[in-house]
């Protein structure tokens, strides 16, 4: 049974069924922020990171750590960060660790969540509130 379901999952990914499903009670906040990256190769910057196209991507071009900075005009309470990754396509370029940091500015960022990834494929949901807001009850 496990082999069968894994095969079905791979088939879905191969035909591009990579749709992110977000519960109606969650709001996408990224469009209300200013996005910058620590570095990027030409044509693979913030626009490619945020364009809702899984064929485009951000590709860093500098020393580690590679950073995505998301600045809001006022304080917001974020519950979930969702990132699409595909180890099969990206191999060594796929992140193996994601650190989420928050603060009032670049001078006082504190890590609020750290996630280790092992050859991930698909949407990775990183809960910032301690519990995954997608799990009801």
How does DSSP classify residue 91? G
Phi, psi of 107 (to 5 degrees): -75, -20
d(CA 115, CA 77): 19
**pLDDT given for residue 12 in this prediction:** 32
**pLDDT given for residue 23 in this prediction:** 78
Query: Taking the domains of the chain in order of start, what are their residue ranges?
Result: 30-73, 77-130
Contact 130, 79 (CB under 8 A): no
d(CA 134, CA 79): 10
Using 50 as the pLDDT threshold, list the residues of the chain that sit under it: 1-17, 136-137
Contact 65, 101 (CB under 8 A): no
**pLDDT given for residue 20 in this prediction:** 78
């Amino acid at each position: 049974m496990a082999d069968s379901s894994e095969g079905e999952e791979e088939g879905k990914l191969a035909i591009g069924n990579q749709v992110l499903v977000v519960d109606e009670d969650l709001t996408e906040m990224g469009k209300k922020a200013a996005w910058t990256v620590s570095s990027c190769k030409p044509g693979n910057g913030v626009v490619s990171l945020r364009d809702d196209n899984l064929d485009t991507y951000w590709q860093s071009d500098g020393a580690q750590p590679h950073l995505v900075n998301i600045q809001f005009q006022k304080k917001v309470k974020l519950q979930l960060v969702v990132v699409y990754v595909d180890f099969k396509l990206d191999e060594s370029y796929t992140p193996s660790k994601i650190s989420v940091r928050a603060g009032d500015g670049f001078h006082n960022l504190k890590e609020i969540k750290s996630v280790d990834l092992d050859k991930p494929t698909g949407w990775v949901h990183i809960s910032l509130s301690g519990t995954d807001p997608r799990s009801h009850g």
